[in-house]
Structure 1
Amino acid sequence: MPYRVDGHELIGRRIRRQRLRLGMTQVDLAIAVRRTQSWVSKVERGAIELDRTGLINVIAAALHCHPNILLERPYVGDVRENQWQVAAASILRELRRYDLTPAFEGAPRSSGDQWRDVKRLHRLRDAAANVAILQTLPDFLRESLALADRSSGREREEAFAIYAVACKFAHTAAHALGHPELIAMTCERAAWAAQSSGDPSLPAVADWMRVWDMWATADWESSVRLSDKALASVQSGYDAGDPSALRVWGSLQLRAAVSCARNGEVDEAETRLGYAQEASRRVGTGDGRGPVFDRHSLTFSAGNVQIHRVSVALEAGDQARALQLNDRADPELVAALPKSRQGHHAMDLSRAWLWAGDRAKALEELERAERLAPQLVRNHPIARATLRRIVYGERNALRQRLRTMSDRFHLDDQGVFR
């Protein structure tokens, strides 16, 4: 019998509770998620560990709830670990005041000065310092909105762009920490501010955020349609070689690739990855003007395409291909990625090795992920599920080895394993 997690960790128990609330049978749920009743039964009993985000989202959609209900997120820690929720509440307060006169004393700084603060947020995001991001944002959102309220022309447009990008930082941190209300509201406010930003690519970035949110409802087809709508809006900039449009276009193709893979459209996912690869080539080529500030904080690159290829292979359930793709990847391109992206990639590799039956390498990659981005990994439901599977696998393997040895020593006659 497999080892089971404690009640507060057992996703199967929460699935069963939500199913019974809706009056659904195991057969009903099995039909909805295209599995067997036996499989649903094993999930609810804890005999199967769910370690695929797409599958968890499909189950949540069938049960008409947010995935965080099943994952019991946000996770409850000690007093220090819970302080980020204070910052999240302050951000929500500012976002609700978006169409009121900002409560800001004194004169707001210029857009140039505020963009310099955005660079600091980039560094925090790259380090996956999500708590620090949330703690920084309440005052920053208030000041950028005050600048928009008190300025005109290009300065006003830049203030709205800063506000939208700040919402994107909050959106990323909220996803990492598991705060669905903050996720939804930051996405809405980013779309609102983008329309007044004068930035032709920023509305597409807001759609890029919405695609991420759509995954929670397992609406893969709508996710692709929204990606294509956003792609069309930046197509002219992409064709002209605008650096920002190239990054947004490539990032949207990666979003579409994951959506297609989760919908079982592996060939289309590969096509999208090919488009993204071409976009990354064009970004890398440049035009001789030097590096361009990534104001949208998308960090799109050839390395990002490489790790998405691995992720898409895992979404298709092909861990062997995922590991092969990783072997063929350029390690320098991956190493150039922010620690947050490298941490995600290491989590993917951990799952791939675990599915391939190598728990030692799976643990090695999970440890590497934690070193790279500790806040991200310790709060990530897939990392936690992967670690549980490693732990239980080791326990079962050790128990079997001890049982075999005890048979040779005739210890079983003494009821050691009863």
Structure 2
Amino acid sequence: MPYEREEQEAIGRRIKRRRLTLGMPQADLGAAIDKSQGWVSKVEKGHIELDRAALINSIAAALHCHPNDLIDRPYVGTAPDNQWQLAAASILRELRRYDLTPAFEGTPRSADALWQEMTRLHRLRDAAANVAILRSLPDLLREASALAEAATGHEREEAFGIYAVCCKFAHTAAHALGHPELVAMACERAAWASRSSGDPVLPAVADWMRMWDMWATADWADAVTLADKALTGIDPEYERGDALAVRAWGSLQLRAAVSAARAGNAAEAGHRLGLARQASDRMGGPGGEPVRDRHSLTFSAGNVTVHAISVALEMSDQGEALRLNEQTRPDEIAALPNSRQGHHRMDLARAWLWDGDRHKALGELRKAEKLAPQLVRNHPIARATLRQIVYAERASTREELRGMSSRFHLESAGRTRD
């Protein structure tokens, strides 16, 4: 079996095993995800590549399991590649003991000093260095907890804000590396800490995180509802033009746009993209006064553009995605962090592949890997896209060789010798 088919067929076997465990016929699974029984059969045999996150999540939801159970994440690498799981376990220990006396010796640094420490995590996030992020977080969580217990007033609120943003970093890295337990607990603790932070925008950021988690269970409508709840909570700050509220408001609209697209609601997705563009316009141009993004949200005109391309792909319209890409300003994309650019290049790889240009698809995938290697090599959609490219190239080569063999009469010569 060609190696590029092994992972694809293994996913099919896991789907079949889970379906049979539930006593669910193929036709019932197909009906739950709006597909035919024959389509499910082909997936289970590894004949169809699942290259859409929404589709994988919908199948997992119908089978009452986590998507990672079907695609077997986290992927097993070499021993050094797996060291991040030790850091993840250490973070989980800290998050479980959130309401106990902090295990921290000495005097914690001030909130200002800890916020300065967080700027390094912002740089690591922008570079998609998720393993390095996880390794940094246990000590920071302990120190933030110690400061929250020792301090009073605004300093205590700031300590809770730092704890919540640490949880957000853990949440992002755990999603990228495939650790669902850490994803869920980081989201819960971020919501808990944000309520004591004194930051009126931070609870909305926690809801933004929770929307991402709802995607794992294909709860697209609930994700949009949650976005509206969070948006209502920060509307006063948004109307006043508070810079951090504008960033959060726009980010929530983008996440709502993707949720609506995955639900098949193109009109709602387009409406949300339009609202996000309004928020982007309110932020001003590159010459505006810089804002310290303490919430670690990536929001800009370029981010709205790449989300519009993602939405087009969610609606299976690669032509629109490529058209939007042609109109994209290169400087807006270049201003995005590597992590966001990596996602964008993965989207373009899928668009070109679906459009029939494997060469351009592979080129975009190479750019994505160069920008954010940890992210791309661990991303199920990037892996699925690469498998399709490799298998199609091999199939094309086999067909060319078959034609040449026929023209050279190699097949008949072989039969004669037998």
Q: Distance in 1 between matches of 2:4 and 2:332?
A: 39
| Aligned counterparts of 2:4 and 2:169: Cα–Cα separation in 1 | 36
Conserved in 2, the CA contact under 8 Å of 1:3 and 1:392?
no
Is contact 1:141-1:163 (8 Å) kept? yes
Partners in 2 of 1:414 and 1:184 — Cα distance? 63
Give the Cα separation in 2 of the matches to 1:18 and 1:83. Answer: 29
Q: 1:142-153 counterparts in 2 under 5 A?
A: 142-153=142-153
Which SS does the other structure have where 1:197 is aligned? Answer: coil
Deviation for aligned residue 1:287: 10
> What residue in structure 1 maps to residue 306 of structure 2?
307
Deviation, structure 1 residue 284: 2.2
Equivalenced residues, count: 416
Within 1, Cα distance between the matches of 2:270 and 2:2? 36
Alignment match, 1:406: 405
**Residue by residue, what CA displacement relative to the aligned partner does 1:292-334 show, whole Å, maximum 9, x if unpaired?**
1000000210000000000000000000000000110111000
Q: Aligned partners of 1:95 and 1:204: how far apart in 2? A: 20
How many percent of aligned residue pairs carry the same amino acid? 69
Residues 116-167 of structure 1: per-residue CA shift (max 9 Å, x gap): 0110000000000000000000000000110000000000000000000000
Offset of residue 2 of structure 1: 9.7
**CA distance in 1 between partners of 2:287 and 2:335 (Å):** 21
Q: Runs in 1 of length 4+ with deviation above 2 angstroms?
A: 1-4, 7-10, 284-288
Identify the residue that residue 91 of structure 1 maps to in structure 2. 91
Give TM-score scaled by structure 1 length. 0.97
Per-residue deviation, 1:10 = 2.4
CA distance in 1, matches of 2:350, 2:61: 23
2:345 is the alignment partner of 1:343: no
Aligned alpha-carbon RMSD (Å): 1.6
Q: Output the amino acid matched with 1:206.
A: A
Counterpart Cα distance in 2 of 1:240 and 1:196: 23
Distance 1:7 1:315, change over 3 A: closer
Q: Is the 1:7–1:13 contact (alpha carbons within 8 Å) kept by the matching residues of 2?
A: no
- Structure 1 gaps of 5+ residues are none
1:29-40 alignment runs, 5 A limit:
29-40=29-40
Q: How does 1:177-326 map to 2 (within 5 A)?
A: 177-285=177-285, 290-326=289-325
User: Is 1:80 paired with 2:80?
Assistant: yes
Residue 283 of structure 1 and its aligned partner are, at CA, apart by 1.1
Aligned partners of 2:78, 2:366: CA distance in 1, in Å?
A: 22
| C-alpha distance in 2 between matches for 1:329 and 1:379 | 27
Report what 1:59 is aligned to.
59
> Which residue number in structure 1 is paired with residue 114 of structure 2?
114
Query: Following TM superposition, by how much is the alpha carbon of 1:6 offset from its aligned partner in structure 2, in angstroms?
Result: 1.8
1:388 equivalent to 2:387? Answer yes
Distance between the aligned counterparts of 2:401 and 2:412, measured in 1? Answer: 14
Structure 2, unpaired ranges of 5+: none
Identify the range of structure 1 (243-252 vs 279-288) with the bigger mean alpha-carbon deviation. 279-288
**By how many angstroms is 1:7 displaced?**
5.6
Helix, strand or coil for the counterpart of 1:102? coil
Superimposed CA distance per residue, residues 216-243 of structure 1 (whole angstroms, 9 cap, x where no aligned partner): 0001110100000001001111111000
Matches within 5 A, 1:121-200: 121-200=121-200
Letter in 1 for 2:156: R
Match of 1:10, SS state, is helix
How many angstroms does 1:262 deviate by? Answer: 0.2
Distance (Å, rounded) in 1 between the aligned partners of 2:338 and 2:381: 18
User: Per the alignment, do residues 7 and 248 of structure 1 end up closer, same or farther by CA in structure 2, a change over 3 Å counting?
Assistant: closer
* Alignment partners' CA distance in 2, 1:99 and 1:415: 76
